[in-house]
Amino acid sequence: MSKIKVLIVEDDEVTATNLKLSLSKYDYNVVAITDNATQARSKIKIYNPDVIFIDISLQKSTDGIDLAKYVNEHHQKPFIYLTSHTDSDIINQAKETEPYGYIVKPFEPINLHTTIVMALHRHKEEQKRNSSLTTLKDDKNNLEKLLYAKKVSDKPIVPFGSVYYLDISVCETFYENHKIKLTRKENAFIRLLVAQLGSVVTFEQVIKYVWDEGGATENSVRTLVWRLRNKLPTDIIKNASGIGYYIDD
């Protein structure tokens, strides 16, 4: 397993040296040390570090905070602030950049290791969430294409279940031209079923599409379907036992 690469951005030579020695004891690979934000930008591109230590007040200014903003915008790398400041204005500015941790100078070596472990874990979880959101966005785009392909002529209407139709422009369901009052989640579920008429929509697909905020289970889906069936004039939602639901094409 390759060593975790660390970039140190610190303008106090003694602090930077102590930081490097402490990190080396925990088997981290300090790829570079720089004392200013301009060089740091270059080092990030060259070494692609896994984590960056940034002194909040480089060159006795807010260059460290400006560098953190640059990292967030261009590299999405976890960074940890080094600080000896108690100035509330500076701390408040630093908080807005959402750092992955703070190390107060003078520091204890064990605190460095713990902070890095937590920072890398948080960064990994954020990447997972971002990947899931990207996948969900792609899935929703594909679903919209499926619905559009099923619409009637130039109208934003997709018929289903003989006398039902979905108005895809407003995501509302109608029965014999009368709107059925449904919740946002119920309408989203109908939208998902109609987009894939004749095909089974799995529990996983429903949870991902209807509960994009997370926290749902298969029982959440069953409860949603039970409530929806009580609102629909006819029973058009079919069970695929243990898998999910579908509406006949």
Residues 165 and 209 in one domain: yes
Q: Provide the whole-model pTM.
A: 0.56
Q: Is 36 helix (H, G, I), strand (E, B) or coil?
A: coil
Residues 126 and 164 in one domain: no
Is 144 domain-assigned? no
Reported confidence tier of residue 136, pLDDT bands at 50, 70, 90: very low
Residues 9 and 118 in one domain: yes
Query: Looking at residue 60, what is its pLDDT?
Result: 65
Residues 206 and 94 in one domain: no
Reported confidence tier of residue 181, pLDDT bands at 50, 70, 90: very high
Residue 91's CB is within 10 A of a number of other CB atoms, namely 14
Is 140 domain-assigned? no
Residues 75 and 155 in one domain: no
Q: Which of 29-38, 66-75, 148-157 has the lowest mean pLDDT?
A: 148-157
The pLDDT tens digits of the residues spanning 16-28 come to 999 999 999 999 9
Residues 16 and 101 in one domain: yes
Residue 33's CB is within 10 A of a number of other CB atoms, namely 19
Query: Looking at residue 133, what is its pLDDT?
Result: 44
Is 54 domain-assigned? yes
How do 51-55 and 5-9 pair as beta strands? parallel
Peptide bond into 106 cis (omega under 30): yes
Residues spanned by the domain of 180: 151-246
Q: Is 38 helix (H, G, I), strand (E, B) or coil?
A: helix
Q: Measuring CA to CA, which residue among 125, 103, 106, 104 is closest to residue 116?
A: 103
The enclosing domain of 40 has a CATH number of 3.40.50.2300
Is 165 domain-assigned? yes
CB 221 within 8 A of CB 212: no
User: What integer best gives the mean pLDDT of the chain?
Assistant: 86
